[in-house]
Structure 1
C-alpha cells in the first residue's frame, strides 16, 4: 500500500517460521495505510539475506526461528543494515529476553498476541526513530529476580541441553570432568530442580539462556 498524502510507504520485512502466522501478519499489515510488506522469510538466515536484498525500513522478526533466532537477526542487521529497525515478536515474553533483545539492537519487543493495529503503530514508531516495549513486559522486568547462575554456570548448562556427556562438556569448556560435575550440581541446587534437563528447561523459559 502506498504512503499517505503521496509519501513513500514504510517497507516491511516479515520473518516467522510459521507460515500461517507470517501470511496473517502480511494480510493485516497490507490493510494499514502507509505500510508495504516487501519480503518474507521462514528462518533467520533468510531474513538477513532478504533484508540485505530488499533493504526494508523495518524488519518484524519472530524470536524463536531456525538458523538464526530473532536476537541474532537483530544483531546482524544492526551491523550490516543499521537503517532497518527491528521489531521482535515472541510467544513467550520473558523479561530477560526483553533486555537481551534491546542489547542486540532491537527497537521494539512485543507479544505475538498483540492486536494487528498495535503492530502497525509500533512499526511506524520505530521507523520514526522511537522504541516500544510491551508495558506488561516492562513492568515484569522491573520486578523479576536476576538470574542466580554465573556466566560460567550458564555456559555449562547451555552445553548440557541434550544430556551431553560430562566429558564432552569438559572438553568444550576446557574444564575437568569433576569441575563440570560440580557446576551441574550447583546449578541444580540453585534452581531447586531435580536434574539438569529440568534446569535447562527452567533457564530457557526464564530467558536466561
Structure 2
C-alpha cells in the first residue's frame, strides 16, 4: 500500500483528488492539509510514501514545503501537482527535491500512475514543460532581483521597495534595471509580471 499525503488550499480540489486516488486499490490517503506550513508536521505524524503538493498555498508555498520535507523526511517522495504549469516552477521544484511535476488537468489514472512511479523512486515530469525548460534555459535572475521584483508586483516605487527589502533606493533601482533587461520588458511591473508568468519568482 502506498501512503499518500495531499496538500492543496482548495478544499474541493483536495477532496476530489482524495476521492479519485482513494479508488485505487494500492493507494491510501493518510493526510490532507490546506496550507504549506502544515505539510511537514502532517508528514512527520503520518509518514507518507508520497506527498502530493500544490504550489500556491498559504503559510508556505509548495516548493518551499517540498524543500523542507525532503530535508526533514527524505524517505517521503514529492509529487507537485499544480494549475500553474510554468517552466520556472518546474525547475525550482526539482531543485527543491521534488521527484515529479504534473499539471492538474492530468487524467486521474495518469495521476495515480505518477504517484506509483514517484513512490518507486522514479521521476515523472510533464513532457511539454520539460521541453520548455530545456528550450528556455535557467532562471537568469539573481536572488536579490527576484526579491525586489516580488515586491514590485503591485506597482510599488523604488523607495517603497527599498524600505521593504532593507536596501538603498539606488541599489534597488540597479536590481530593477538589471531584471528589466533580463526579462525584455520596459518597466518594473512588466518585469515582475513576466518573471511571475515564467515561474521565476
TM-score above 0.5, yes or no: yes
CA RMSD of aligned residues (A): 1.9
| Cα distance per residue 1:102-159 (max 9 Å; x no partner) | 1101110001110111111111111111111111111121112544544432232223
Give the match's secondary structure for 1:59.
Answer: strand
**Which ranges in structure 2 are unaligned for 5 or more consecutive residues?**
none
| Cα distance per residue 1:62-99 (max 9 Å; x no partner) | 01111111111111111111111110011121112111
Whether 1:139 aligns to 2:151 is: no
- Displacement of 1:169 in angstroms is 3.3
In structure 1, what is the equivalent of residue 51 of structure 2?
59
Give the match's secondary structure for 1:120.
Answer: helix
In structure 2, what is the equivalent of residue 5 of structure 1?
none
2:93 to 101, 105, 125: 101
Whether 1:114 aligns to 2:106 is: yes
Aligned partners of 1:134, 1:32: CA distance in 2, in Å? 22
In structure 2, what is the equivalent of residue 158 of structure 1?
150
Give runs of ≥4 in structure 1 deviating > 6 Å: none
Whether 1:50 aligns to 2:42 is: yes
1:161-172 aligned at under 5 Å gives the runs: 161-171=153-163
1:35 to 18, 27, 32: 27
Aligned partners of 2:140, 2:74: CA distance in 1, in Å? 34
Contact 2:39 2:69 in 1 (8 A): no
**Which ranges in structure 1 are unaligned for 5 or more consecutive residues?**
1-8
In structure 2, what is the equivalent of residue 78 of structure 1?
70
- Displacement of 1:11 in angstroms is 0.7
Aligned partners of 2:65, 2:82: CA distance in 1, in Å? 14
**How many residue pairs are counted as aligned between the two chains?**
201
- Displacement of 1:162 in angstroms is 3.1
Aligned partners of 1:169, 1:126: CA distance in 2, in Å? 40
In structure 1, what is the equivalent of residue 193 of structure 2?
201
CA 1:105–1:171 in 2, change beyond 3 Å: closer, same or farther? same
Give the match's secondary structure for 2:105.
Answer: coil
Contact 2:18 2:29 in 1 (8 A): yes
Aligned partners of 2:183, 2:72: CA distance in 1, in Å? 38
